[in-house]
Structure 1
Amino acid sequence: MSAESPSGVLFDVDGTLVDTTYLHTVSWWEALRQAEHRVPMSLIHRSIGMGSDKLLDHLLGPERDRDADGKLRDAHDSLFAEYWERLAPLPGAAELLRACAARGLRVVLATSAAEHEVGALRAALDADDAVDTVTSSADAQQSKPAPDILVAALEQSGLDARRVVFVGDSVWDVAAAAKLDIPCVGLTCGGTSRGELAGAGAVAVYDDPAALLAALADSPLVTPRRTSPRDKPDTEA
């Protein structure tokens, strides 16, 4: 690796490595429905990747009465927990983490999932042998698109923002990385389109972890950093 190559890879987990985006969508839809909020699933899906506070602001408006927010979050968490034992990794997820580690890259799960969910996600991935550091929502004061969880991931792993790449599946991931000038590789397996991810500033876009793994040698994860998140992205067909 050249001196300009990233020395670590930060991975979002929900929707990027574990197939949970639509489970979160349905769980939020039902939690909101129980509180008599009728929100289309399409809007909820496009909000997944934000923290619950910003998601509720986005869906219900920042001027709403926030007294019920705790109950909404609890309802979502309870509904989502019903899926824990059935969570599945996305294609090639564990293999991608191990391939990055084998190349000498530090692998960081920069997740903003709640601490009680992180164990279920790690169990679904079954790749702890390749993981250097894991964050949780407790490590960030603000949720994405604020970059707090990425700052925490860098601090806990000892990595420099100039030597890492972030892999995520939502425009909120791309926005958070851009605030730290970290290149973000987008994956469409969370249900966000190639055009949306590229338009948000992703430096490259792949279908899923397996597609990124297949192109790993020539991907931004292991090649010298030549672009910033504000440059035009490359896309994988």
Structure 2
Amino acid sequence: MDRAALFDVDGTLVDTNHLHVVTWWEAFRQAGHRVPMHAVHRSVGLGSADLIAHLLGDDRDKDEDDALAAAHSALYGQYFDRLPAFADAGRLLRRLHGDGWTVVLATSASGPELGALRRAIDADDAIAGIASADDVSAGKPAPEPVEHALELAGAPAGDAVFVGDTVWDMRAGRRAGVRCVGVLSGGIPRADLQEAGADTVYDDPAHLLASLADSPLA
């Protein structure tokens, strides 16, 4: 049975969280909503519909949701040709692949955005599959993205590790029954990741790669 190394993408492998913060903030501003950037930052990692609901509440004008999501996509899309992967992100995936792990991405991205992220990571040769927003009915913190990633990997939860940068990642992984590893590269505090379910926390992909022998991915 394969061992599965499951990875979130934004904030975990690619340095995009603050781009999402600014472009979501601008999308809200254009629609007349004042949403603090710190609140947007804490919501990054949710799918678009869930992020809007989380920040604007259930009493919002839901007819506006699609326009807000489209505005964010258009603003964020301006950066697709220069999304920066974190140092050693691709090397980490290739090392795990070489060590016998089945590497699968579990992300709320899809379509052209997902393509831009994959180009930034530049490690398709090490990636066995991708569980994207198009593949599940509920995004993180629901367990479905991680469960679908497990299906793609052909591995049971007990033989899998999920690496992510947000509390939504950690909660999704815990609900799916996998071990969770947090990284600080998305800007969420260590204590928050641990409280949400991280077994251990590293600074970023380079730190995890350097510490691999003593990590849950050993």
The bucket for the TM-score relative to the shorter chain is over 0.9
CA distance in 2, matches of 1:8, 1:38: 41
**CA RMSD in angstroms, aligned pairs only:** 1.2
Matched, 1:160 2:156: yes
Alpha-carbon distance between aligned partners in 2 of 1:8 and 1:201, rounded to the nearest angstrom? 18
| Aligned position for 1:218 | 214
* Alpha carbons 2:140, 2:169 under 8 Å: kept: yes
Q: Deviations over 1:35-81 (max 9, x none)?
A: 00000000000000111111111100012120010000000000000
The aligned counterpart of 2:7 is 11
Residue 104 (1) aligns with residue 100 (2)? yes
Could you list the per-position Cα deviations for residues 152-182 of structure 1 after superposition, in whole angstroms to 9, with x for gaps in the alignment? 1112221211110000000000000111121
In the other structure, the counterpart of 2:180 is 184
How far is 1:201 from its partner?
1.7
Letter in 1 for 2:8: D
Q: Is the 8 A contact 1:145 1:175 kept in 2?
A: yes
Contact 1:115 1:137 in 2 (8 A): no
Question: Structure 2 CA distance, aligned partners of 1:32 and 1:140?
Answer: 26
* Match of residue 112, structure 2, among 113, 116, 121: 116
Aligned to 2:57: 61
Structure 1 gaps, min length 5: 223-237
Letter in 2 for 1:142: A
> Within 5 A, what are the aligned runs for 1:2-41?
7-41=3-37
- Which structure's residues are more often helix, by fraction? 2
- Match of 1:206? 202
CA distance in 2, matches of 1:220, 1:170: 18
Cα offsets for 1:114-139 (capped at 9, x unmatched): 22211100000011111111121001
Q: Which secondary structure does the structure 1 equivalent of 2:45 belong to?
A: coil
Shift in Å at residue 199 of structure 1?
A: 1.8
Q: How many residues align?
A: 218
| Corresponding position of 1:233 | none
Contact 1:9/1:105 (<8 A) preserved? yes
Output the amino acid matched with 2:32.
E
Structure 2 residue ranges without an equivalent (≥5): none
Amino acid aligned to 1:139:
D
Alignment equivalent of 1:169, drawn from 160, 165, 169: 165
2:18 counterpart letter in structure 1: Y
Provide the rounded CA distance (Å) in 2 between the counterparts of 1:198 and 1:179: 15
SS at match of 1:167: strand
In 2, the alpha carbon distance for the partners of 1:55 and 1:128 equals 28
Q: How does 1:73-84 map to 2 (within 5 A)?
A: 73-84=69-80
Q: What is the CA-CA distance between 1:85 and the residue it aligns to?
A: 0.7
Whether the 8 Å CA contact 1:167–1:186 is kept in 2: the answer is yes
**Counterpart in the other structure of 2:138:** 142
TM-score (norm 2): 0.97
List, as ranges, runs of 4+ consecutive aligned residues in structure 1 with deviation greater than 2 Å: none
1:70-121 deviation line (CA, Å, top 9, x unaligned): 0000000000000111101012101100110111000111112122211100
